[in-house]
């Protein structure tokens, strides 16, 4: 028999017992910014992919009325993102599940920290387990990597942002994870702002740089007054003509630190300056020191490795704790709520 996916319930009703909280202002800024409908759509698609006809292993081995408590545990240190996603996954398969979020999104945690606890129907917990882990591990990896970049530019005034280089179908979650790490979001998609890149300019000017100011000015005149207009340049001699068109942001692509500093001086506050390309943990501080306003980094989302988190069945005090990977460890006096 196919295990049903129950109708979702709001994760706002889950009990939150936060350990090692993020700064109150950061936590408040994140609250309510992950759309429940988008989370539900991702979870339903993922569960349909993973268990289109139910979980035959659990249906065969686990009696239908068995209850279980499981702990989301950190194997390594990091920054949490996706607590609400974890709760929503568990409640999607069992609306009666009780989920405690023990660490807030955006908070740093040490290895061994209990991040969340779920109590509910055992089959339902096991059905949601892999989907919940996959998403929270990826989101927390993004938040952790973002926090590393943000720490390296602290005090410079530069803002760390993501790009559109996200996993198809997961952009809303990955963008939220960047915010959990202290970063900011670039345009969400192609519909949100104008960003003219090298290929756009090549088509637009026909390879004639003397046309650049006029064609950009004409394009900007056709936009609504609230639409942001950004242009990417890859050489110093493009900055003047682009500035003369009155754009809002100039992206300096693959500039050296010396060229970035010169570009910032040339722009002289007439537009926002964004640096992009060749940004990593070794180079970001030097890039920020040039005075740019924004540093966009595709690597925040496109190349992170999942953070090592696990879901452990909690058997109570004095007994071995069964991990999802089949190994055991002493439960260390944890109690089942």
pLDDT band at 327 (very low <50, low <70, confident <90, very high): very low
Would you call 232 a catalytic residue per the annotation? yes
pLDDT at 281 over 70: yes
Domain ranges of the chain: 11-149+307-330, 194-302
At the topology level of CATH, where does 194-302 sit?
TIM Barrel (3.20.20)
pLDDT at 328 over 70: no
Pair type for strands 98-101 and 15-16: parallel
Structure confidence at residue 27 (pLDDT):
62
pLDDT band at 209 (very low <50, low <70, confident <90, very high): confident
Same fold across 11-149+307-330 and 194-302:
no
Catalytic residue among 44, 164, 165, 187: 165
pLDDT at 168 over 80: yes
Would you call 130 a catalytic residue per the annotation? yes
Structure confidence at residue 29 (pLDDT):
79
- Mean pLDDT across 204-208: 86
Structure confidence at residue 147 (pLDDT):
97
pLDDT in tens, 255-269: 999 999 999 999 999
Catalytic residue among 232, 274, 312, 314: 232
As a three-state string, the secondary structure of the chain is: CCCCCCCCCCHHHCEECCCCCCCHHHHHHHCCCCCHHHHHHHHHHHHHHHCECECHHHHHHCCCCCEEEEEEEECCCEECCCHHHHHHHHHHHCCCCEEEECCCCCCEECCCCEEEEEEEEHHHHHHHHHHHHHHHHHHHHHHHHHHHHHHHCCCCCCEEECCCCCCCCCHHHHHHHHHHCCCECCCCCCCCCEEECHHHHHHHHCCCHHHHHHHHHHHHHCCCCCCCEEEEECCHHHHHHHHHCCCCEEEEECCCHHHHHHHHHHHCCCCEEEEECCCCCCCHHHHHCCCCCEEECCHHHHCCCCCCEEEEECCCCCCEEEECCCCEEECCCCCCC
Catalytic residue among 187, 197, 217, 323: 197
pLDDT at 116 over 90: yes
- Mean pLDDT across 20-29: 58
Structure confidence at residue 315 (pLDDT):
81
10-14, 169-173, 285-289: segment of lowest average pLDDT: 10-14
CATH architecture of 11-149+307-330: Alpha-Beta Complex (3.90)
Would you call 91 a catalytic residue per the annotation? no
pLDDT at 324 over 70: no
Catalytic residue among 44, 130, 217, 272: 130
Would you call 230 a catalytic residue per the annotation? no
Catalytic residue among 234, 244, 253, 308: 253
């Amino acid at each position: 028999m196919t295990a049903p996916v129950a109708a979702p319930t709001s994760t706002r009703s889950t009990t939150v017992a936060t350990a090692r909280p993020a700064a109150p202002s950061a936590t408040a800024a994140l609250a309510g910014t992950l759309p429940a409908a988008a989370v539900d759509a991702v979870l339903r698609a993922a569960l349909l992919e993973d268990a289109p006809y139910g979980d035959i292993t659990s249906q065969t081995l686990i009696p239908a009325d068995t209850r279980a408590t499981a702990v989301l545990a950190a194997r390594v240190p990091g920054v949490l993102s996706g607590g609400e996603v974890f709760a929503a996954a568990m409640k999607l398969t069992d609306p009666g599940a009780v989920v405690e979020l023990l660490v807030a999104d955006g908070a740093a945690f040490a290895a061994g920290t209990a991040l969340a606890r779920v109590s509910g129907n055992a089959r339902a917990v096991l059905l949601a387990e892999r989907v919940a882990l996959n998403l929270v591990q990826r989101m927390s990896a993004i938040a952790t990597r973002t926090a590393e970049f943000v720490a390296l530019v602290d005090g410079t005034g530069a803002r760390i942002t993501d790009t559109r280089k996200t996993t198809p179908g997961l952009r809303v979650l990955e963008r939220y994870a960047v915010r959990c790490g202290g970063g900011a979001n670039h345009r969400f998609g192609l519909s949100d702002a104008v960003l003219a890149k090298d290929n756009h300019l090549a088509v637009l000017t026909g390879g004639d740089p003397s046309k650049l100011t006029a064609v950009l000015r004409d394009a900007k005149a056709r936009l609504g007054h609230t639409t942001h207009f950004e242009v990417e340049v890859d050489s110093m001699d493009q900055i003047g003509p682009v500035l003369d068109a009155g754009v809002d942001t100039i992206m300096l692509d693959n500039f050296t630190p010396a060229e970035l500093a010169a570009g910032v001086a040339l722009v002289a506050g007439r537009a926002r300056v964004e640096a992009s390309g060749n940004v990593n943990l070794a180079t970001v501080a030097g890039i920020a020191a040039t005075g740019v306003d924004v540093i966009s980094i595709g690597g925040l989302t496109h190349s992170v490795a999942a953070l090592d988190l696990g879901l452990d069945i909690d058997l109570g005090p004095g007994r071995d704790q069964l991990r999802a990977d089949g190994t055991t460890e002493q439960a260390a006096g944890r109690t089942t709520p």
